[in-house]
A = this chain, B = another copy of it.
Amino acid sequence: MTNYHLTPSQFREEGKKIIDWIADYYEKIESYPVLSQVKPGEIKAGLPENPPQKGEPFEHIIRDLDEKIMPGITHWQSPNFYAYFPSNTSFPSILGDLVSSGLGVQGMIWATSPAATELETRVLDWLAEMMDMPEKFRSTSTGGGVIQDTASTSALTAVIAARERATKFRSNKTGVREMLVAYVSSQTHSSLEKAIKMAGIGSENLRLVEVDEQFSMRPDLLHELIREDKKKGFHPFFVCATIGTTSSNAIDPVRKIGEICKEENCWLHVDAAMSGTAMLCPEFRYLKDGVELADSYSFNPHKWMFVNFDCNVFWVANREELISTFSILPEYLRNKATESGEVFDYRDWHVQLGRRFRSLKLWFVIRHYGVEGLQFHIRKHVEIAQNFTRWVKDSNEFEMVVEPALNLVCFRHKAGDDFNMALMNAVNETGKAFFTHTKLNGQVVLRMSIGQTYTEEEHVKQTWNLIQKTAGRMTQG
């Protein structure tokens, strides 16, 4: 035997079977229980304890995929998945990512595969145009975009770049020696706290600003806190405003927060991970009013934009600040081409060095759907959420908790916290739908996140009927 590889012709055969397997999966996806029903350890117990000494035929792997792995899958791509957030994919994205896997290039610097860098730059400029983002976030201006894996990593990137700017790039050399303080709201995603810890700032130096009745950050309280901290000798350096909190999709007032950041010389990071995709539609862009005051902005094409995970977009207003923070090249290796903007070496724009060719899937999606196709689907999901809201308001047993800004509906049954938790569990256990809960003002709230690729109004209607029927049975029982 000269080698153990599949030949290209074997790959044609096995690959086409996998394509069919995926198509079959989507055709029957509604027949699976949305939430996996397995117990801890059940999947692992079905897999051999020891690795195979000899290679196995491909059909055995696929057989085990069906029999041993699939029962442990929670079906995020089901149209009846309403949990957490819309982490959705689409066939064009799957195929774009497949081409990326096939090419297997490393895009760590321009030179290692120029197309990987230049397509990314081009597509992120397209996105900036598609969302009417400020000029400064474009590669043709002072800033630019870079694809990151997740909004968490983008948050870490922003915190570290802000830390360096605030300390005149001293912290990278000496370590964190100043009393830096950062500000988020009480509703901000936990990844910001994690970033503050990882960057060596410390969670004691993270202030949680209180929110208003819409769960949006109160800028007056932010300003107060900053002033107090300055009086005490702290150095306020970073504020995160959120467009769409994970819990209730609350929108922070970016303009007011941005004005305070300018006055107080803080880096403003806008975390639009949850709802940034909505900016594809002009009618929702009021939600990002003031974004021209931001130093960085991040949103997730892998949420609600039909691009499979991972694909986060991080825009920065001043790329030199970013590169000065993350470049690991000694000064004498920096070159004119990089600094003129003629070529970007994206490994100097973030945490990692190695880079997958992720712009391909984004390019496939934008070209397949076009701006108008993407807008169509975003609008449809928002419309379904509005209809769901009406159904809740029309019922006697349920109530809305906040008015939905977009596609996340926060509601509850009037019978109290325990009832709501029991109701949610009962519906999820049917396998016919999967949704999750949060707590707002100490109360259990049910969340319907409407944004999976194949979710149509009839799915949501059936789920609403199921919720009502289950609640009715529980009330009677």
Q: Which residues of A contact B (CB under 8 A)?
A: 1, 3-6, 8-12, 14-16, 18-27, 36, 38, 40-44, 47, 49-56, 58, 60-61, 65, 69-77, 84, 87-95, 97-99, 101-106, 110-116, 118-119, 121-122, 125-127, 129-130, 149-153, 156, 160, 163, 171-176, 180, 190-191, 193-194, 197-205, 302, 308-310, 326, 328, 337, 342-343, 351-354, 356, 360, 363-364, 366-374, 376-377, 453-454
Contact = CB atoms under 8 A, between A and B. Distances in A.
Nearest to A163: B200
Contacts of A89: 101, 104
Contact of A14 (B95, B106, B116, B202): B95
Nearest to A3: B377
B198 A201 contact: no
Contacts of A129: 50-51
Contacts of A115: 36, 38, 43, 69-73
8 contacts: A4-B377, A21-B99, A36-B115, A44-B118, A51-B371, A54-B372, A61-B368, A200-B201
A245 B42 CA distance: 40
B309 A356 contact: yes
Given A15-B94, A61-B363, 12 more contacts: A4-B370, A11-B23, A21-B99, A25-B102, A40-B342, A44-B118, A52-B367, A56-B370, A58-B92, A152-B354, A176-B176, A190-B328
A153 B200 CA distance: 16
Contacts of A174: 202, 204-205
Contact of A55 (B84, B201, B369): B369
B152 A149 contact: no
A356 B55 CA distance: 25
A20 B25 contact: no
A180 B176 CA distance: 11
A360 to B, nearest CB: 8
A202 B175 contact: yes
A55 B309 contact: no
Given A11-B19, A76-B104, A101-B97, A160 B198 contact: yes
Contact of A153 (B38, B204, B351): B351
A373 B4 contact: yes
B114 A36 contact: yes
Closest 10 CB pairs of A and B: A200-B200, A72-B115, A175-B202, A4-B373, A15-B19, A22-B102, A55-B370, A51-B126, A43-B118, A6-B91
Given A20-B12, A51-B371, A94 B101 contact: yes
A74 B111 CA distance: 8
A58 B92 CA distance: 9
Given A60-B367, A84-B106, A194 B8 contact: no
A106 B453 CA distance: 15
A94 B194 CA distance: 33
A143 B60 CA distance: 31
A126 B50 contact: yes
A180 B163 CA distance: 19
B149 A73 contact: no
A47 B122 contact: yes
B94 A102 contact: yes
A105 B367 contact: no
Contact of A18 (B99, B114, B337): B99
B12 A23 contact: yes
Contacts of A91: 5-6, 8, 10-11, 14-15
A77 B389 CA distance: 52
B351 A152 contact: yes
B54 A370 contact: yes
A76 B106 contact: yes
Contact of A310 (B20, B354, B363): B354
Contacts of A309: 104, 106, 354, 356
A100 to B, nearest CB: 9
A91 B101 CA distance: 9
A113 B149 CA distance: 19
- Name the residue in A88, A172, A453 with the highest tally of chain B Cβ atoms < 10 Å from its Cβ: A172
A137 to B, nearest CB: 15
A174 B308 CA distance: 37
A369 B36 contact: no
